[in-house]
Amino acid sequence: MNRMRLLRVLLATVLLSGAALGLGAFAQTPGLDQRAERHRAFLQEGVPLEYRSRRNPYPAATMVIRDGEALYRHHCAACHGANGEGDGAAGRDLTPPPALLAKLIKRRRSIDEYLLWSISEGGARFGSEMPAFKDSLDEDEIWQIVTFMRSGFLALGEAD
């Protein structure tokens, strides 16, 4: 093997192992597999029977969005961030990290029953810190939060 060829082989080896390391780091981003579990369960089984076909009864009215915003700030923003960007202070060290709700809400799977199920039951089944809210919020309150999320996290502030 002449020197040029040897150099080329060495270079290729370095590049390839760099790529392999990069891929390995991606696969090991902590918690992303756990977050995907929820999505997989939904695709394979749908939501549990008690949540099936449940619909948000609220219109996207200012009053509802405002109530939902207040509830969201109180119960969700600490982890998911004020605008649903997953950047709340309490969520910073969680594995898996809090979901980016602002993105999720635009995805096709974000139908009412999926959101009601996720918020009511939390993440115990998937080993995440997402709390179950079925005992601390009633269903109406969860729908108000969903209405606020669907408004694009519209910040209307406190009512006068």
Residues near ligand HEC (CB under 6 A) are 35, 38, 75-76, 78-80, 90-91, 94, 96, 98-99, 101, 104, 115, 118-119, 123, 126, 128-131, 133, 145
Nearer to ligand HEC, 78 or 156 (CB): 78
CB of 51 to ligand HEC, least distance (A): 12
Side-chain-side CA neighbours of 53 within 13 Å: the count stands at: 1
Q: What is the DSSP letter of 89?
A: G
Nearer to ligand HEC, 128 or 147 (CB): 128
Nearer to ligand HEC, 6 or 36 (CB): 36
Cis check for the bond before 97: say yes or no (omega within 30 of 0): no
End-to-end CA distance of the chain: 81
8 A C-beta contact, residue 80 and residue 141: no
